[in-house]
């Protein structure tokens, strides 16, 4: 591997961000398959706390972790 490849974004924060995004996407797709898309959209706008709103929070947190992982400098190995 060449020295000019900086491995930017290859740290645990980026990996956790991707994990949160994948879990949230799987949850949303599962709910859309089980119920109709209209029913799932209705869950987003009611006043109860449910899996769809938690998934949106997970997507937001995952995006935050990914951007934080790209901004943080990587630790140099020996």
Q: Would you place residue 75 in the very low, low, confident or very high pLDDT band (cuts 50, 70, 90)?
A: low
Cα–Cα distance measured from residue 26 to residue 24, given in angstroms and rounded to the nearest whole number: 5
pLDDT of residue 71: 85
Would you kindly state where each structural domain of the chain is located, as residue ranges?
21-71
Cα–Cα–Cα angle for 36, 55, 18, rounded to 5 degrees: 120
Q: Which two tokens stand for residue 2?
A: 């060449």
Whether this prediction's pTM lies above 0.85 is answered by no
Question: By the 8 A CB rule, do 9 and 69 touch?
Answer: yes
pLDDT of residue 11: 85
pLDDT for 7-64, tens place per residue? 666 788 999 999 999 999 999 999 999 999 999 999 999 999 999 999 999 999 999 9
pLDDT of residue 10: 76
Cα–Cα distance measured from residue 34 to residue 43, given in angstroms and rounded to the nearest whole number: 13
pLDDT of residue 49: 93
Cα–Cα–Cα angle for 62, 30, 13, rounded to 5 degrees: 15
């Amino acid at each position: 591997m060449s020295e000019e490849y900086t491995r930017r974004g290859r740290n645990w924060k980026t990996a956790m961000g991707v994990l949160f995004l994948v879990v949230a996407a799987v949850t949303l797709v599962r709910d859309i398959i089980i119920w109709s898309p209209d029913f799932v959209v209705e869950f987003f706008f009611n006043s109860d706390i449910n899996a769809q709103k938690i998934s949106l929070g997970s997507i937001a947190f995952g995006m935050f972790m990914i951007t934080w992982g790209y901004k943080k400098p990587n630790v140099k190995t020996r």
